[in-house]
Amino acid sequence: MVTAKPEPRQAPAAAGPQGLRRLFGQPLVRNAIVGVVALVLFYLLIGHLGQYRIYQLSQVGPYVIALAGLSVLTGQNGQISLGHGALMAIGAWTLTLMQLHTKSPLWLMLIASALVTMVFGALLGLVAARLRGPYLAGATLALALGLPDITTRYQSLFGGYQGLEVNQPNAPAFLGATATPTEWLAIIEMICVVVVMVLFANLLRSRVGRKFRAVRDDEIATQVSGISVPRTQVLAFALSAGAAGLGGGLFALVSGNVSPGGFSVVLSISLLAAMVIGGTGTLAGAVWGAAIMVYVPEWASTLTQKLSLNQSVSANLALAIYGFLLVAIIMVAPMGIQGIVRLVIFKLRNLRKEPG
Amino acid sequence: MSNFWNFLLIGVSNGLVYSLVALGIVLIYRSTRVINFALAAMAMFSTFIAATLIDRNVPYFVAFLAAMVFGFLLGAVTERFVMRPVESKSPLNAVIVAIGMLIFLEAMAGVIWGAKLRNFPSYFSLIGLKIGGTRLAISDFDLFIVAVVVVLLLALSVLFRYTKLGLMMRASAFAPEVARLLGVRVGRMLTLGWGLACAAGAVAGLLAAPKVFLFPNNMDGVLIFGFTAAIIGGLDSPVGALVGGLLTGVALSFIGGYLGSDLETVGAFLILVVVLMARPEGIFSSMSARRV
Amino acid sequence: MLTVENLSASYGPVRALSEVSLAVERSRITAVLGANGAGKTTLLRTLTGLVPAASGKASLDGVEFIRRPAEDIARMGIAHVPEGRGVIQELTVEENLRLGAIWRRDIDVQAKMAWVYELFEPLKPRAGKPAFTLSGGERQMLAVGRALMAEPKAMLLDEPSLGLAPLVVASIMALLRRLCDEQGLSVLLVEQNARSALSVADDAVVLSLGKVVVSDSAEKIRDDEELRHHYLGF
């Protein structure tokens, strides 16, 4: 689990040279190792999955990254955003336009979608630093509504309502001749997810992370103690936007298309809901939230299709189930899914401490 | 008749609908600190009820009243049974529950009435009025909108200013704990507040439907403009909701008229940023007034 | 008569009040004294239903009321003037006063209000002004006046002297004494300012860490130098 909670240091044991031990003690190294292990497991896993399952899995990745950013912003820094869908759109169009007009390599396009969105996020952060709670929510929501309309205004550049096609990269030779673009994309995503998660996990443990939380808990006290509240808030917004932009770039690759319809207000609202349901402020919660965004609607529509209703009714019924579940989960688990997971872990640990 | 005056009049007519939505948002926000995103769906659902009644030959105004009553009940039940248990935990959780309600109600409307676009009767003519040979952009129906909104706002301000009930509702909104110590049944006041807010939303739905048509998420856009209006006005001020609605309506009408309708949403964002940069808590917020 | 028997309350795992017992007769003032965090405010909040009681009883004229909702307790005739005055700042002075008697249908509100304006003359010219325009002393007058609107049987006051000038404190204490005698009120007066509370109170209890450590007549406590030094710091 990659969260900001400091873990108790192990008591020194006899085995192993001192240098190696100190290296393992470093959070960055430890998180990186967890990440690499996750990556290897993931690679082994997709070898056993069908193409459709892999495609489904690769829909989760962009959301994980965007949600991690949103969760850091809201849960750790106390700023709400209903505009992360629009930030994803900026990343998506950055990647698409680069693919269309330049011959940049994939890694460069992905970094560019993060950086361009980060710059935009910093600007938005300057506005956000003056606003609180619902006022910030309203301003970002208006952005989420307005931004997609710009793409229809400048059709020649952004492709209007239909949007633009995005080519999926071919798998490199070292993955073997049978590797499909879908598998390659899933691996790229997992790499991005690991990199972003490790970076965020370390950020949250660092001085910057403490500043974020200080601003969230008490702005006045933080300002008095010599930390610039607006600067911290702009930084949080920029970093969060960077993650959303990278998520957006990957989203474009997975969808094979970018269009204003894909980045409507609904996306922004769904991201916020998924963040809360996953567990606000936790990176693991971002994974739960992303999985819910992809799998619950899918599962609900499979369920309603079995009822042999007409198509419109079954589609709407699936949505209704999704809405109902949102309400139900918040009622049952106010701290989100990660809140439940932590509770279970806590109980299990206590059980082990006091056997019988 | 120049374009300018036409855009202004359309802006006022649309703006009054935004004012009603803003009022619905403000009434709930100031008492429970929750932004009720489900208001769009509640308004739409109530409008569908009216449409169903009108289809069965119920007179327009009876259906209108029935939709208001339905909106009231929907709001009251939602507060009592859905929001009450989550309100105390965190405002963000309550907002997510409201979003869940929005998705649920819109989907249920799709199940019950179908997702197709349908006309909603307007009772009054939608054709522009004629004055001395020139046709205006506003119609009999726009005049009806003005009349309904004015009557409704007057009724609400009388309720809040001059009645015991209104005093209890305001006390519950501003200081729930103190109100309880004075014997006010705060829980009932919250339920009532949600009911009134959603009845106002239902009226907004009935007035918007002839122009935006009727379908399960027909009020989403109106809700966001209403939210914009509420924020511009300052989220806890009913007067601010009215002024914010008019400002938003007129500004969007000019932007749409002179620059193209696809820039209206971008315009809403820019207006919001400009207003909030000058006054981060809206124009009429009592919070900022009190700190002076 | 207000009676409290073995009342306990907790904030989560922290026990804030344990087994508190006291009684206030009609026309008498009992001061509740003690240091910060001794449980004085919690006692009042538990009595008026804002903090749930863990165990114990409380009754007014023989009618049990603990564990009832706060609004019902208020309607029994128990007025709680919370710490920090508790006037509703957004409402006008007059609206605050009206609110005081909002649940009483059998009271002539106009006459009652005129009486309150007589008691607290500075309020009258401010009747139409929002309460946030009042000074600290005026807010305290408004809070007490509002509590009197409903003709309560018992009045619980939380630090009415907080942040007020000594002269204002003295006049408020004197007024409390007068009201208590004239109206037959039972008054529970929570104070950090022990000296001024003891000057008007008939009895006093001293709380320490949520427990009653001393319960005696105000006079005795005033005269017991050692006790005063130990618990009350003067």
Residue type, C77: G
- Which residues in chain A are closer than 8 Å to B264, comparing Cβ atoms? 149
Q: Which domain holds residue C116?
A: 85-151
Q: B163-217: per-residue pLDDT in tens?
A: 999 999 999 999 999 999 999 999 999 999 999 999 999 999 999 999 888 998 8
Nearest to B103 by CA among A41, C111, A265: A265
| Token code pair at residue A47 | 């070898």
pTM of the entire predicted model:
0.87
Q: How far is B169 from chain A (nearest CA, A)?
A: 22
Is A174 contained in some domain? no
Chain B contact for A106 (CB, 8 A cutoff) = no
Nearest to C87 by CA among B74, B182, A6: B182
User: What is the predicted pLDDT for the residue at A350?
Assistant: 85
User: What is the predicted pLDDT for the residue at A2?
Assistant: 44
Pick B3-286's CATH classification: 1.20.1050, 1.10.10, 1.10.3470, 3.30.420.
1.10.3470
The Cα A94–Cα A100 span in angstroms is 10
Mean pLDDT of A160-184: 85
Residue type, C210: G
Q: B237-269: per-residue pLDDT in tens?
A: 889 999 999 999 999 999 999 998 888 888 889
Which residues of chain B have a Cβ shorter than 8 Å from any chain C Cβ?
164, 167-168, 170-171, 174-175, 177-186, 286, 290
Is A10 contained in some domain? no
Contact state of B184 with C102 under an 8 Å Cβ cutoff: yes
Pseudo-torsion of CA A117, B97, B216, B61, nearest 10°?
-130
Question: Which residue ranges make up each domain of chain B?
Answer: 3-286
pLDDT confidence tier of residue A7, bands split at 50, 70 and 90:
very low
What is the rounded average pLDDT for all residues in chain A? 88
Q: Which domain holds residue A144?
A: 26-168+180-353
Mean pLDDT of B77-83: 94
Contact state of B96 with A326 under an 8 Å Cβ cutoff: yes
Nearest to A240 by CA among A147, A114, A102, A126: A114
User: What is the predicted pLDDT for the residue at B286?
Assistant: 63
Contact state of B276 with A312 under an 8 Å Cβ cutoff: no
| Token code pair at residue A141 | 């929501």
- Mark which residues 145-204 of B lie under 8 Å from A by CB: none
Chain A contact for B278 (CB, 8 A cutoff) = no
Q: A276-298: per-residue pLDDT in tens?
A: 999 999 999 999 999 999 999 88
What is the rounded average pLDDT for all residues in chain B? 90
User: What is the predicted pLDDT for the residue at A1?
Assistant: 40
Nearest to B44 by CA among B224, B245, B209: B209
Cβ-contact A74, A285 below 8 angstroms: no
Q: Are residues C106 and C222 in the same domain?
A: no
User: What is the predicted pLDDT for the residue at C195?
Assistant: 87
| Token code pair at residue B184 | 């006010």
Chains B and A touch (3+ CB pairs under 8 A): yes
Question: What is the CA angle C197-C201-C206, rounded to 5?
Answer: 70
The Cα A212–Cα C110 span in angstroms is 54
The total of other beta-carbon atoms located within 10 Å of residue B61's CB is 9
Beta strands at C186-190 and C14-24: parallel, antiparallel or unpaired: unpaired
Q: Are residues C167 and C229 in the same domain?
A: yes
Residue type, A47: G
The domain boundary, picked from C127, C151, C175, lies at C151
| 3-class SS of residue A75 | helix
Contacts of B164 (CB under 8 A, 6+ apart): C98, C102
Contact state of A142 with B272 under an 8 Å Cβ cutoff: yes
Instruction: Compute the half-sphere exposure of residue C121: CA atoms within 13 Å on the CB side of its CA.
Output: 1
Q: SS3 for chain B, per residue?
A: CCHHHHHHHHHHHHHHHHHHHHHHHHHHHHHHCCCCCCHHHHHHHHHHHHHHHHHCCCCHHHHHHHHHHHHHHHHHHHHHHHHHHHHCCCHHHHHHHHHHHHHHHHHHHHHHHCCCCECCCCCCCCCEEEECCEEEEEEHHHHHHHHHHHHHHHHHHHHHHHCHHHHHHHHHHHCHHHHHHCCCCHHHHHHHHHHHHHHHHHHHHHHHHHHHCECCCCCHHHHHHHHHHHHHHCCCCHHHHHHHHHHHHHHHHHHHHHHCHHHHHHHHHHHHHHHHHHCCCCCCCHHHHHHC
Task: Please state whether C50 falls in left (phi above 0), alpha (psi between -120 and 50) or beta.
Answer: alpha
pLDDT at residue A13 is higher than 70? no
Contact state of A324 with B100 under an 8 Å Cβ cutoff: yes
pLDDT at residue A322 is higher than 90? no
Q: A336-350: per-residue pLDDT in tens?
A: 999 999 999 999 888
The CATH number that applies at residue C159 is 3.40.50.300
The Cα A58–Cα B107 span in angstroms is 27
pLDDT at residue B114 is higher than 60? yes
Pseudo-torsion of CA A20, A22, A25, A27, nearest 10°?
-90
Q: Are residues C9 and C61 in the same domain?
A: yes
| Token code pair at residue C109 | 């509100």
- What is the number of domains present in chain A? 1
- What is the number of domains present in chain C? 2
Chain B contact for A172 (CB, 8 A cutoff) = no
Give me the phi and psi of B214, to 5 degrees please: -120, 120
B–C interface: beta-carbon pairs under 8 A? 68
Contact state of A276 with B277 under an 8 Å Cβ cutoff: no
Contact state of B171 with C91 under an 8 Å Cβ cutoff: yes
Cβ-contact C112, C149 below 8 angstroms: yes
pLDDT at residue A356 is higher than 80? no
Q: B7-38: per-residue pLDDT in tens?
A: 999 999 999 999 999 999 999 998 888 999 99
CA end-to-end span of chain B, whole Å?
A: 45
Helix (H) or strand (E) holding A245: helix A229-255
Which residues of chain C have a Cβ shorter than 8 Å from any chain B Cβ?
48-50, 69-71, 74-75, 79-80, 82, 86-91, 95, 98-100, 102-103, 132, 146, 150
| 3-class SS of residue A88 | helix
Residue whose entry in the numeric block shows the structure tokens 């990343």 = A91
| Token code pair at residue A281 | 């402020």
The Cα C184–Cα A345 span in angstroms is 59
Say which range, A8-17, B52-61, B94-103, has the weakest mean pLDDT.
A8-17
Contact state of B106 with A330 under an 8 Å Cβ cutoff: no
The Cα A294–Cα A123 span in angstroms is 31
Percent share of chain A, pLDDT over 90: 54
Chain B contact for A127 (CB, 8 A cutoff) = yes
Mean pLDDT of A129-156: 89
User: What is the predicted pLDDT for the residue at C136?
Assistant: 87
The domain boundary, picked from C121, C151, C181, lies at C151
Mean pLDDT of A206-221: 92
Residue type, B15: G
Residue type, A45: L
Cβ-contact C99, B184 below 8 angstroms: yes
User: What is the predicted pLDDT for the residue at A15?
Assistant: 47
**Per-residue burial over A201-216, b = 16 or more CB atoms within 10 Å of its CB, e = otherwise:** bbbbbeeebebbbbbb
Nearest to B93 among A316, A318, A334 (CB): A334
Task: Please state whether A3 falls in left (phi above 0), alpha (psi between -120 and 50) or beta.
Answer: beta
ipTM of the complex: 0.92
Cβ-contact A68, A232 below 8 angstroms: no
Is A18 contained in some domain? no
Contact state of A149 with B263 under an 8 Å Cβ cutoff: yes
Beta bridge partners of B130: B135
pLDDT by 10-residue block (mean), chain C, 234 residues: 92 86 92 88 93 92 92 94 86 95 91 93 93 90 93 92 85 88 91 88 92 89 82 74
pLDDT at residue A10 is higher than 60? no
Contact state of A313 with B111 under an 8 Å Cβ cutoff: yes
Q: Are residues C215 and C159 in the same domain?
A: yes
Contact state of A142 with B228 under an 8 Å Cβ cutoff: yes
State the burial class of residue A265 (Cβ atoms within 10 Å of its Cβ: 0-12, 13-18, 19+): buried
A–B interface: beta-carbon pairs under 8 A? 145
User: What is the predicted pLDDT for the residue at B288?
Assistant: 44
Beta strands at C203-208 and C211-217: parallel, antiparallel or unpaired: antiparallel
Contact state of B103 with A150 under an 8 Å Cβ cutoff: no
CA end-to-end span of chain C, whole Å?
A: 31
pLDDT at residue A5 is higher than 70? no
The total of other beta-carbon atoms located within 10 Å of residue B99's CB is 25
The alpha carbon of residue B117 and the mean position of all alpha carbons in its chain are separated, in whole angstroms, by 21
Helix (H) or strand (E) holding C206: strand C203-208
Helix (H) or strand (E) holding A272: helix A265-278
The total of other beta-carbon atoms located within 10 Å of residue C157's CB is 27
User: What is the predicted pLDDT for the residue at A214?
Assistant: 94
Length of chain C: 234
pLDDT confidence tier of residue A235, bands split at 50, 70 and 90:
very high
| Token code pair at residue C126 | 């401010």
- Mark which residues 286-305 of A lie under 8 Å from B by CB: none
Which one of B37, B88, B111, B222 makes the best mutation probe of the A interface by having the most chain A beta carbons within 10 Å?
B111
User: What is the predicted pLDDT for the residue at C127?
Assistant: 93
Give me the phi and psi of A225, to 5 degrees please: -80, 10
The Cα C204–Cα C227 span in angstroms is 12
Residue type, C213: V
Residue whose entry in the numeric block shows the structure tokens 């279970």 = A344
Q: Are residues C40 and C103 in the same domain?
A: no
Helix (H) or strand (E) holding A85: helix A84-101
Nearest to B181 among C80, C90, C98 (CB): C80
Contact state of B178 with C98 under an 8 Å Cβ cutoff: no
Q: A85-115: per-residue pLDDT in tens?
A: 999 999 999 999 999 999 899 999 999 999 9
State the burial class of residue C5 (Cβ atoms within 10 Å of its Cβ: 0-12, 13-18, 19+): middle
The domain boundary, picked from C151, C179, C206, lies at C151
| 3-class SS of residue C156 | strand
- Which residues in chain B are closer than 8 Å to A131, comparing Cβ atoms? 276, 280
Helix boundaries (H) for chain C:
40-47, 70-75, 93-100, 109-119, 136-148, 166-183, 194-200, 218-223, 225-227
Contact state of A134 with B108 under an 8 Å Cβ cutoff: no
Q: B141-159: per-residue pLDDT in tens?
A: 999 999 999 999 999 999 9
Nearest to C71 among B167, B183, B290 (CB): B183
Give me the phi and psi of A98, to 5 degrees please: -65, -40
Nearest to B104 among A130, A137, A323 (CB): A323
Nearest to A320 among B35, B85, B111 (CB): B111
The Cα C223–Cα C218 span in angstroms is 9
Cβ-contact B21, B225 below 8 angstroms: yes
| 3-class SS of residue A297 | helix
Which one of A296, A316, A322, A335 makes the best mutation probe of the B interface by having the most chain B beta carbons within 10 Å?
A316
Q: Are residues C124 and C68 in the same domain?
A: no
